[in-house]
Amino acid sequence: MDRKIFHRLFEERIVMLDGATGSNLMQAGMPVGVCPEKWILEHPQHLIKLQRAYIQAGTNILLAPTFTANRIKLAEYHLEDKIREMNMQLVDLTRTAIAQENHRGFIAGDMTMTGRQLQPVGDLAFEELVDVYKEQAQILVEAGVDLFFVETMMSLAEARACVIAIKEVCDLPIMVSMTFNSDGKTLFGSTPEASVIVLQSLGVDAVGINCSTGPKEMEALIKRMVRYASIPVFAKPNNGMPELIDGETKYTMTPETFAEYGRALVEAGARAVGGCCGSTPKHIEMLKKVVRSVEPEATKPVCTRVLSSESAVQEIHLDGNFLVVGERINPTGKKKLQEMLRAGNMDLVVQMAEEQTERGAKILDINMGMNGIDELEMMKRAVYEVISVTNLPLCIDSSHVEIIEAALRIYPGRALINSISLEEKKCRPLMRIAKKYGAMAILLPLSDKGLPENLDEKKEIIRRLLEIADEEGLSRDSLIIDGLVATVGANRMAALETLDTIAYCKNELQIPTICGLSNISFGLPERINVNTAFLTMAIANGLTMAICNPGQAMLVNASLAADLLLAKEDSDNIYVENVVALSQTEQTAAKNVAGVSEEGSRVYHDVVKGNKGSIVENVKKELESGKDPQTIIDEDLIPAVNKVGELFEQKKYFLPQLIAGATAMDLAIEYITPLLHIEENAKPKGTVIMATVEGDIHDIGKNLVVLMLKNYGYKVVDLGKDVPLDKIIAAAKEEHADIIGLSALMTTTMMRMKDAVEYVRANNLPYKVIIGGAVVSQNFADEIGADGYSKDANEAVKLVDKLLTDK
């Protein structure tokens, strides 16, 4: 399918997507716990009947049932060697359904998450995941799909990996759908705004939302996506939320109600609609009748110059408030940082990221250029470490093309490249990399001849860089121009020439500008005075941002004051708030000595910040100073993990930070435990059996609960996923368990929880049964008689504490 045809389809009509597959096949007899793709191939008539019904209901794009037919998922059923034939045959079934209806529909190759977690949260390397997706994508292309539909993605990093894989295989259109929790964020903390910015800059053709919520709750999320979308946005909501009726989970929203909510989704800006869990062909048929006469309001993105991390966006406006790009993560001239990097220690990098974030930087520049290290590997490590402690977008800074590409490839946001000059060997390759990974780029007016001799030559280089950018398909909205600050001590006209360049870029080219601020004062005494004066002059001439040290309060305050005096939007409030915040930050910094914050020790800080690389070493230092092992647990580790939990509850931390903190604590506990000299017969606080119920192969949440409970002193027996009830009960008896914890992520498997509760009650077994998972609620727990429900790992610890205290 040509991408022009795809986009024309969305311009001509509201595109109709299909509805649920799994829940309808369950109704047709597909049992719990089987490989869905294998069952479909063994019972093809049910899939063909369902898809024919969707076509009759008005579906334009039909998803082939290849949802979990990737190598990792199929391996869970020992079917990984059947990946090619299964994907080919599954696409053929959808083609048969279309042919039998004599319908001109489009077949989408359906792809989703693998269930394994990417580094640094999990153990799956980025390139391994890309290879897994490329394998399936290549087969689907050969099977003849018209486009790709990447759906139910909880991780923006994994969504990017899938998109990159598809694009390295073919040029077919790609639709990507994220799934958000009730708090408006994915399980990994991504927002609708960040998702649409990252994915559309990467080159996907439509972005949307599916699963997790019903159509009513999805409306606000669609509106948030549309604010930044320059491509079609789509919605595939669940048919409301499941209810327990006569011992079965059912979706009860009528097609008429579903369709009316669908109307609101289209009015909110969705250009395509369909259904997810619980929806049927009747829902799609009624949805089409309602929305075909609705014309979405024409909208434009509120800002097209936007950088993004996995969870936060940074708009860049030509006349907007000045932005600080933190320069500190750069070993040039920093002996301590150089020593630590040569030792493979990233603690100072993490500290610099945290400090610059606290001091008001809006973007962080990362440069690992120095001798004595593998710069490429160190750059990738730095990216992973920094994104674990800040949500600021990154600026990737290197003189090597391959290093910039390596960083952009793994970065789960939209980054800024620093920088692209008119060097023949680097210019076009870097622009192509920027295009491939959706990055913004700084254009630096240097050529192979070196520095421009005068202002005219500088402008000529800028014009040539813009011409090449146009040729390589980079939009003007993705570019920023470096004013190229020279040293005023060597060239008395340096400041004036830079100011002229800034004004030229803003007024004539309408392109934002940046500069490396400290260059202006090189070799002069009291450099801060020159830097500050120059900064205010540059802002007055239109400078958009500068690479500088946000820890220099005089400099930052001057930029805030300059914005205030230029009457920029909300600059008065920003000035007052930030000057107060900077003052408080300075006071806090003064109280911190040798890396120990006023909140606790180095060990405490390591858990709160998830510093896995340094925590064991800092535990050793605490022990060497005379601190008792048990005291470290009681006064440092337990309070720290409690703090992580509080930040998670406050939505300041998300899954990656929660995992990082728990893992750091786990490493500390593992080191300390042999030193405690615990008696062999000493008892843990309690014993918990944990399992994902039979038929369900999701275990992200369950694994985190296991980790957190262990850190709080409980003995935890993790039975894994897809665990039958008899195995759970046998383990509980053998381990003399206090609590059985059950997890489910699928509406089709949540009833196994009810079976467990009923078995425990009927046999008068002494175990408390607690449940959790994305599809589970407190109401469901009450209905089946469970002893407790927790919405996340942090709450699970509190629940277990309460149950065993009350026991």
The answer on 704 and 622 residing in a single domain is no
Last residue of a domain, one of 675, 704, 739: 675
Dist CA 155 CA 659 (whole Å): 14
Using alpha carbons, select from 407, 410, 417, 405 the residue that is nearest to residue 363.
Answer: 417
Buried b (16+ CB within 10 A) or exposed e, 754-780: bbbbeebeeeeeebbbbbbbbbbbeeb
Q: How far apart are CA 282 and CA 186, in angstroms?
A: 29
pLDDT tier at 586 (50, 70, 90 boundaries)?
low
Residue of higher predicted confidence among 674 and 486: 486
- Could you tell me the CA-to-CA distances from 51 to 54, 61, 483 in Å, in that order? 5, 11, 58
pLDDT for the residue numbered 587: 53
**Gyration radius of the chain over CA positions:** 28
Tokens standing for residue 340: 């630590």
- The pLDDT-based confidence of 704 (bands split at 50, 70, 90) is confident
pLDDT at residue 680 in the model: 45
CATH code, domain with 613: 1.10.1240.10
Q: In this predicted structure, what is the pLDDT of residue 588?
A: 53
pLDDT: which is higher, 118 or 377: 377
Q: From CA 387, how far away is CA 406, in angstroms rounded?
A: 15
- For residue 589, tell me if it sits in a domain: no
**What pLDDT is attached to residue 501?**
97
* In-domain check, residue 780: yes
128 shares its domain with 272:
yes
CATH assignment of the domain containing 511: 3.20.20.20
Query: Is 299 domain-assigned?
Result: no
Residues 697 and 670 in one domain: no
Residue 436 lies in a domain: yes
User: Are 668 and 749 members of one domain?
Assistant: no
Q: Is 277 annotated as a binding residue?
A: yes
361 plus 501 within the same structural domain: yes
| Model pTM score | 0.86
Domain end point (choices 649, 675, 701): 675
Residue type at position 371: N
When pLDDT is averaged across residues 282-293 and rounded to a whole number, the result is: 95
Residue 392 covered by a domain: yes
166 and 86 co-located in one domain: yes
pLDDT, residue 727, reads 94
Q: Is residue 219 part of a domain?
A: yes
Give the pair of three-digit tokens for residue 83: 């990946």
Assigned token pair, 626? 């005379």
Residue 235 and residue 138 in one domain = yes
Residue 591 is predicted with a pLDDT of 46
Q: Where residue 697 sits, what CATH number does that domain have?
A: 3.40.50.280
Residue 211 counted as an annotated binding residue: yes
Residues 656 and 705 grouped into a single domain: no
Q: Is residue 698 part of a domain?
A: yes
Q: Which domain holds residue 629?
A: 602-675
Summarize pLDDT for 69-93 with one digit per residue, the tens.
Answer: 999 999 989 999 999 999 999 999 9
Domain final residue, candidates 249, 264, 291: 291
**Share above pLDDT 90 across residues of the chain, in percent, rounded to a whole number:** 71
Q: How many domains does the chain have?
A: 4
Is 570 domain-assigned? no
Summarize pLDDT for 192-240 with one digit per residue, the tens. Answer: 999 999 999 999 999 999 998 899 999 999 999 999 999 999 999 999 8
Assign 122 a pLDDT band (cuts: 50, 70, 90): confident
Q: What is the 3-state secondary structure (H, E, C) of 12-26?
A: HCCEEECCCCHHHHH
pLDDT at residue 225, rounded to an integer:
97
Has residue 679 got a pLDDT over 60?
no
Q: Are 709 and 608 contained in the same domain?
A: no
Where would I find the beta strands (DSSP E) of 536-597?
545-548
- Cα–Cα nearest to 335, from 327, 343, 326: 343
395 belongs to an annotated ligand binding site = no
Q: What is the mean pLDDT of residues 53-81?
A: 96
pLDDT band at 409 (very low <50, low <70, confident <90, very high): very high
329 and 211 within one domain: no
Q: Is the pLDDT of residue 535 over 60?
A: yes
pLDDT digit string, tens, across residues 452-481: 999 999 999 999 999 999 999 999 999 999
Buried b (16+ CB within 10 A) or exposed e, 594-606: eeebeebbbbbbb
pLDDT in tens, 716-767: 999 988 899 999 999 999 999 999 999 987 776 888 899 999 999 999 999 9
Task: Specify whether the CB–CB gap between 118 and 65 falls below 8 A.
Answer: no
Q: Are residues 341 and 246 in the same domain?
A: no
Amino acid 584: pLDDT? 59
Do 266 and 360 fall into the same domain? Answer: no
pLDDT at residue 684 above 80? Answer: no
Q: Given a cut of 50, is residue 597 above it in pLDDT?
A: no
SS3 174: strand
The partner residues of 244 in beta bridges, in order of sequence, read 249
CA distances from 546 to 51, 327, 481, 534 (A): 55, 9, 11, 11
Find the mean pLDDT for residues 352-356: 95
Q: At 62, which CATH number? A: 3.20.20.330
